[in-house]
A = this chain, B = another copy of it.
Amino acid sequence: MAQVQKPSIPKGTRDFSPEQMAGRNYIFDTVRSVFRKFGYKPIETPSMENLSTLLGKYGEEGDKLLFKVLNSGDAFSKISVDDFQKLVADSTPETSAPSLNSNALSLKVCEKGLRYDLTVPFARYVVQHRSEITFPFKRYQIQPVWRADRPQKGRYREFYQCDVDVIGSKSLLNELELVQIVDEVFGIFGINVCIKINNRKILSGLAEVMGFPEKLVEITIAMDKIDKIGLEAVKEEMLSQGVDEKGFSILEPVLTFNGSTQEKIALISDVVKDSETGRTGVEELKTLFSLIDQAGISQKVEVDLSLARGLNYYTGAIFEVKALDFAIGSICGGGRYDNLTGIFGLPDVSGVGISFGADRIYDVLTGLDKFPKDAITGTRVLLSNMDESSVAYLLPLAGKLRSKGISCEQYPDQTKLKKQFEYAEKNHISYFIIAGESEVQSQTVNIKNLETGEQTTLPVAEAEKFISENILQ
């Protein structure tokens, strides 16, 4: 403990102050309460997973973004200098490309990695615990994930995901339920959103009728960028991936069509009519929208035929939610996957889920000033500290207030009353109860309402009632 360090935290990570925590807890508490109301149950998985669980699940790019944890103990002792020489041969600074061999070396000294998302650990959980689980299994999970992405505004290396999934049921009622959850959550937040829905089977059908069924991944990856790069650039990317003009000409009207949900469904129904998968997708979309009509959703819900979602494991409905009155990327997204647990040895278990982006929702609530005022309320009552005997005099009152559930603290140090006042104000405390020698003698307290400035002197025996009535009303 010798020299003084200037404290800092790793780039892309954050400290959360009490004010920020209040906002974040409001978000977590809200989504949690809605998840519960729909019968979802919490699970948690370890922050570290075996790298064998994580690698290969997020594409090549994802593998690079995994944070690896060095084996504990003497991590390097099992590697000989010869091994090392071989392993790093291609990764000297002369070669600029990321080196596979350096990767291989890291795998020799790291067996664990930090969780990259909550979906793969969930799949792993379901397979590992399948004998204890009653299917359909409805779970939610609110935990941080880590990605070694280049940090930038709104993109962090540690951030929370709030995932809600049901696994072991193919019914479209599950999709409806997720739409209802989104509807209710953003209703509570007071954020107007648009819930965009598409179906991966329709995209498969499109790739088929375009004549490039084998290029489904490339087509969806390109489509996914349409909001960012525009139609022309999407076309360019597809052509460079081997899709021909004729194929793209089938897709183009689908991507550019504007109209009602009914009209969109009519259009796509016609375009993919020669693909069985495509027709199934259209049927699913129709059924889902009919359920949505029956259930009555307050927020805007629409078909978005250009919606693709990057992740390859989606196989049915896909969702994305955007805030209507605040410019930010999607604040919620998800979809149905038919074989996520297959890689862990449990094939053919269908599930559907969505993930709420807590950080972006925080930004939207801040930007639209929609955080409820009482979300940031901390202590309600401060008791003064004038001298030893008045502290003892106020001690029972603190206990009584807390027993009513009123958060209350006694200023710990004997200092000037002015300083205690300032403390109360900076902490947004509502009432300051003051007692000094004279109050002890007269068995009274002086109560100052710090919001209105009003001041009252009351018998100490009546203070609890006065505060309770004013605060708990």
Residue ranges of A at the interface with B (Cβ–Cβ < 8 Å): 1, 4-10, 13-18, 21-22, 24-25, 36-39, 41-50, 52-53, 56-57, 65, 67-70, 72-81, 84-85, 87-88, 91-93, 98-99, 102, 105-106, 109-112, 114, 124-125, 127-129, 132, 134, 136, 138-139, 144, 146, 148, 157-158, 166, 169-171, 173-174, 177, 180, 184, 291, 294-296, 342-345, 378-379, 382, 385, 391-392, 395-396, 399, 402, 405-410, 412-414, 422-423, 426-427
Q: Which residue of B lies closest to A184 (CB)?
A: B402
Instruction: Give A304 to B146 CA distance when docked, in angstroms.
Output: 44
Select one of B53, B74, B81, B399 contacting A81, CB under 8 A.
B81
Instruction: Give A224 to B207 CA distance when docked, in angstroms.
Output: 70
Tell me whether B129 and A15 are in contact (CB under 8 A).
yes
Tell me whether A134 and B344 are in contact (CB under 8 A).
no
Instruction: Give A411 to B8 CA distance when docked, in angstroms.
Output: 50
Tell me whether B48 and A75 are in contact (CB under 8 A).
no
- The oligomer's copy count stands at 2
Instruction: Give A56 to B184 CA distance when docked, in angstroms.
Output: 49
Report B-chain residues with C-beta under 8 Å of the C-beta of A138.
409
Report B-chain residues with C-beta under 8 Å of the C-beta of A17.
43, 129, 132
Task: Quote the shortest CB–CB distance from A291 to chain B (angstroms).
Answer: 8
Q: Which residue of B lies closest to A347 (CB)?
A: B4
Instruction: Give A385 to B136 CA distance when docked, in angstroms.
Output: 13
Instruction: Give A274 to B7 CA distance when docked, in angstroms.
Output: 41
Instruction: Give A79 to B106 CA distance when docked, in angstroms.
Output: 13
Tell me whether B46 and A5 are in contact (CB under 8 A).
no
Given A84-B84, A102-B76, A169-B413, residue A44 in contact with residue B68 (CB < 8 A): no
Tell me whether B146 and A47 are in contact (CB under 8 A).
yes
Report B-chain residues with C-beta under 8 Å of the C-beta of A16.
42-45
Tell me whether A407 and B84 are in contact (CB under 8 A).
no
Report B-chain residues with C-beta under 8 Å of the C-beta of A44.
15-16, 21, 24
Tell me whether B76 and A14 are in contact (CB under 8 A).
no
Task: Quote the shortest CB–CB distance from A411 to chain B (angstroms).
Answer: 8
Instruction: Give A139 to B16 CA distance when docked, in angstroms.
Output: 12
